[in-house]
Each structure stands twice: as structure tokens, then as C-alpha cells.
Amino acid sequence: MPCLAGIGVDRAMNESVREAGRHGYIACYAAEFEASGPLDADAYAKVLMPAFDFEGPAGSADQTFAASTELFFLPDLTVSWARITASRFTRTIRTIAARGTDQVLVVGYRSGYFDMTVGGQTKRVEAGEFAFIDLSQEVMIEAPRVDTISIAISRRKLEAMVPLLDLAHGFVRPRDTVSDLLLGMLEGIVAAGPNMAVVDARGVAVAVLQLVAASLEPLSRQGLETSQGRRAVSPVEIKAFIEQHLLEPALGPQTLLDAFNVTRSTLYRMFEPLGGVSAYISQRKLNHAFRQLSDTQQTRKRISKLATELGFSHPSAFTRAFKDAFGLSPKDVQVLAEQSREQEVQLLVSPEPLQYLRPITRD
């Protein structure tokens, strides 16, 4: 069950959260959904809509829908504790473009499991493990009845702590000391709830962010020997170099060979599972373009200018490559993002999301 926090509900609740903060304690909310009540599956789908399309999976028609969630708003992140019956959550390219949500979800399961499909590969996430979901990328989650505790973090906030955050999408941190510490801290936040003072919540949020960053450390452990065999070069290091030089037209395999002094065969072998070096660089450029065009927080940019920045010979070549990669033209994505921006403005003044949530009061 993805975290409800930070996927549109908090935009409408900003003033309520600030009001709670003025009284010295964090804002906390709860909601319960059931098949026969006013807060039914349709209401739950509306709450999730900014981030996911929601449905019951095939074969679950005989199950009675039920879901409950509690939200805890700390500085820079939101914690969610949720319980739900069998469900499917999907986020597609069209969803991303139409409902630009610039967040990363860190999803931990206290019991049960879910199957997460990213890039055509499915992983099972078990209790005690944490899955990382970048809402700027596609994902599908299928879950039976589960009990999950999750974090929603602004991508911009986490990027400052975790270089090359794109690699985190679909990453699963197994159950170990770090994941146990993170889960324990999140359970402590849930237990404290509205009794947590804002002044304390700031330090707690910093500690949570540091544990999240530590959870991603295994991504940088792999290494490749240089041509001299003197040290290992991390694939993350090479990919980070690519991200830092995406706007350089000459970026290519030779650039990487010169920068890292690895053999051509070693470099090509490393990128073979990703379709090759050139294909990987091209895909990263296109992903950068997609994020620029779909991010509602970014100033609108001319498509021709973006194509030139990314080293495409002509805007038409960029448009063809973009549509081949995403099934939508750059203009399509830009239009969907504009519509999303208009909906966000409406959501800021709309009381609709608030009707599903009730404040959790202090003891």
C-alpha cells in the first residue's frame, strides 16, 4: 500500500498543518475507508489519484475492501501508517505527466508483502524490508492485505543527500540493522503522534532522512577495476558523471573512457544489461527532458531549446526519440503538466480532500 502522505492531500492541508505547528505540535490526521460506508473505494481512489491509479487486482472481487491510514506531518517529510485489503496501484507515464508529483516514497512493510514491478522486472518486498519508489518513474504494486509504514520525501530534499537518486527507483533494502533502525524510528513517530512537539520533530526528521540516505548506500558498493587495476570504479560513480554532464553534446563512451581510465570492454560489459553505453546516455537525456517538461514546479521551457541543450541535432529528432521512449510527444507531456498545474491551484482552495480526514487529537 503506497503512502498516502505527500501525494496531493498535504497541498490542501498546508494551512491546517501550519495551524497545528503554531500550537507547538505536529499535525496528524486519520481516515478509514470501507466498501459500504461514505468513505468507500472510490473515495480512497480520489485521495490516491495525484500519485496512483487504484483498483482491486484480478481475482479479488470476492474480497471486501477496507483501508485505514494515519498521517504525521514532520518538517520535510510525512509519515503514513496504513492498513489495506488486496489492491493494485499503478503509476504510468501518462499519470506522471498529468499529475506531476515530485516525491520519493520509502515503503516499509510491518506484515505481509507486495510485488513491485519496475522496468518490466518484478520484485517481492517482504515484511521488514524497505522499497524506494520514485514518483517521477513508472511502477506497479500489487499487494494482499498488508500493514505498512511509509515516508514521503520531496525529491529535491533527498537529492541533496543522495547523489544519482534515479538509481533508487525500485531498490529494496533487505531487513538488516539499518532497516530495523528506520522501522523502529517510524513506529516511534506513529506512537508519539500528535504529542510530538515541532521543536523535537525537526531533529527527528533529520535523523529519519539520514537513515533513508544510509539505506541507499548499497547502491554504490559495486566496483570495476581500472585498466591499471589500482582501484575500483563504482558504476554509481560513472553514472553520476553522466548525470553531471548530460548537457554536454560530446558526452559519449569515449568521454567515459578518458575520465575513468577503464578498458572499453569493461565499460561496455558494465552497460550491456542497460542496452549499451550510448543507449543509456540517450535514455538519461530523455528522462531529464521528461522531468523538465512534466515538473509543475519548473518554469515552462521551449521544446526546441531543451532539444538543443541535450545535444539533439534538430527538434524533430528529439521529438521522435522522446515519443519512441515514452509514447507521448514532448508537447503532449507539456500540455498534461499545464493541466496538472491548474488542478493543483484548484486543490489549494478546495475543501474536498479534507472531508476524508479527521485530526488526531493529543492525549
Classified by CATH at the fold level, domain 9-220+345-359 comes out as Jelly Rolls (2.60.120)
pLDDT per residue rounded down to tens, the chain (363 residues): 555 554 444 444 554 555 554 568 999 999 888 877 777 888 888 777 767 888 865 555 556 888 898 999 998 899 999 898 888 899 888 878 776 667 899 999 898 899 999 988 999 999 999 999 988 888 999 988 888 999 999 887 887 787 667 778 899 999 999 999 999 999 999 999 999 999 999 999 999 999 999 999 887 665 444 444 455 677 777 888 898 888 888 899 999 999 988 889 989 988 888 889 999 999 999 988 988 888 766 677 889 999 988 888 889 999 999 999 888 899 988 888 777 654 543 333 344 555 678 888 877
Q: How far is CA 239 from CA 164, 251, 357, in A?
A: 7, 12, 42
How many residues does the structure list for the chain? 363
Provide the whole-model pTM: 0.76
Cα–Cα distance between 353 and 356 in angstroms, integer? 6
| CB 5 within 8 Å of CB 80 | yes
The stretches of 277-354 forming alpha helices (DSSP H) are 277-294, 303-309, 315-326, 330-349
Dihedral angle sign, alpha carbons of residues 235, 104, 287, 275:
positive
Q: Specify the CATH number of the domain 224-340.
A: 1.10.10.60
Domain coordinates of the chain in residue numbers? 9-220+345-359, 224-340
Cα(284)–Cα(278) distance, rounded to whole angstroms? 10
Contact between 297 and 341 under an 8 Å Cβ cutoff? The reply is: no
